[in-house]
Copies of this chain bind each other. A is one copy, B any other.
Amino acid sequence: MDTKKSIQKYLEELSSNSPTPGGGNVAALCGALSASLGVMVCNLTIGKKKYLDVEADMNQLKEKLNVYTERFITLAKNDNEAFERVMDAFKLPKETDEQKKLRSGAIEKSTLEAASVPAEVIANCRELLPFLEVISSKGNQNSLSDAGVAIAVTSAASEGAFLNVLINYSALNKKQKASELLNRAETLNAEIKEETQFLLSEIKNKIRGN
C-alpha cells in the first residue's frame, strides 16, 4: 500500500469499483491505526512526572508498536497484491484442457496466498493486544479512551481479516491443505474478541470511576 497517498484519494479508491483496496486492506489499515494510537499513548506518558516509574516500559512498548504499524502497512500492501494475483489467475486462457488445468492451479495457489495475508493480520493483532493492554493499564490515564479505541479497532481489524481468510478458504477446491490456517485464524480471532470485550468493559468501569 502506498502510504504517500492522501486519505481522500484512499477513500475514493476504496469506494470505487476497482477491487483493491478492499476489505482486507481496510482490516490491515485498522491494525496500523491501532498500533499508532498505542504509540500516541506511550508518547503522552513519557516525560510525565506522574508516570516516571513506567517510562522505561513505555519507551520499549513504543518501539515495539512502531514495528507493528510497519507490519500492518506491509500486510495492507500484500493484501492488494495477493488479490490482484487471484484476479490475474482468473484471466488466464481456458480453451484447451491444459490451459484449464494451469488456470485452475493458478487460481487455487493465489487464493491460498490471499487467505494467508489476512491470517497474518490476525496473528499480528493477537500479538498487539497484550501490549495495548499494558498501555491501557500503565499509560497516561487521561488517554485511557485512546487506548480503548486502539483495542476496539484491533478487534475489528482481526474480525475483518477473518472474514477474508474465510471467503478465500471457501473458494478453495482443496480445503484440507488450508484447514489448519483457517482453524488457527478462527481460534486467534475468538481469543481477540473475548479479550477485547473484557478489556473494554474494564476500561469503561475505570473511566466511570467504578
Whether B17 lies near A43 (C-beta < 8 A) is yes
Whether B163 lies near A203 (C-beta < 8 A) is yes
Q: Which of A134-175 contact B (CB under 8 A)?
A: 143-150, 152-153, 155-156, 159-160, 163-164, 166-167, 170
- The answer to whether A8 has its CB under 8 Å from any CB of chain B is yes
- The answer to whether A6 has its CB under 8 Å from any CB of chain B is yes
Whether B11 lies near A33 (C-beta < 8 A) is yes
Which listed residue (B5, B36, B39) contacts A6, Cβ 8 A?
Answer: B5
- The answer to whether A52 has its CB under 8 Å from any CB of chain B is no
Whether B29 lies near A14 (C-beta < 8 A) is no
Contact A22 to B146, CB < 8 A, known contacts A4-B8, A7-B3: yes
CB-based nearest B residue for A72? B11
Q: What residues of chain B lie closer than 8 Å to A3, measured between beta carbons?
A: 6-8, 11
Which listed residue (B15, B73, B204) contacts A66, Cβ 8 A?
Answer: B15
Q: Which of A1-42 contact B (CB under 8 A)?
A: 1, 3-8, 10-11, 14-17, 19, 22-24, 26-27, 29-30, 32-33, 36-37, 39-40
Question: Which of A39, A152, A200: most chain B CB closer than 10 A?
Answer: A152
Q: What residues of chain B lie closer than 8 Å to A73, measured between beta carbons?
A: 11
Number of copies: 2
Question: Which of A30, A73, A143: most chain B CB closer than 10 A?
Answer: A30
Show 13 residue pairs from A and B whose CB-CB distance is below 8 angstroms, ordered by the A residue: A6-B7, A7-B10, A11-B36, A14-B39, A16-B40, A17-B46, A24-B145, A30-B153, A144-B167, A148-B160, A148-B163, A153-B156, A155-B156
A contact set with B: CB distance below 8 Å: 1, 3-8, 10-11, 14-17, 19, 22-24, 26-27, 29-30, 32-33, 36-37, 39-40, 43-44, 46-47, 66, 69, 73, 143-150, 152-153, 155-156, 159-160, 163-164, 166-167, 170, 200, 203-204, 207-209
Given contacts A17-B40, A148-B163, 10 further A-B contacts (CB under 8 A): A3-B11, A14-B40, A15-B37, A17-B46, A145-B164, A148-B160, A153-B153, A163-B200, A163-B204, A170-B207
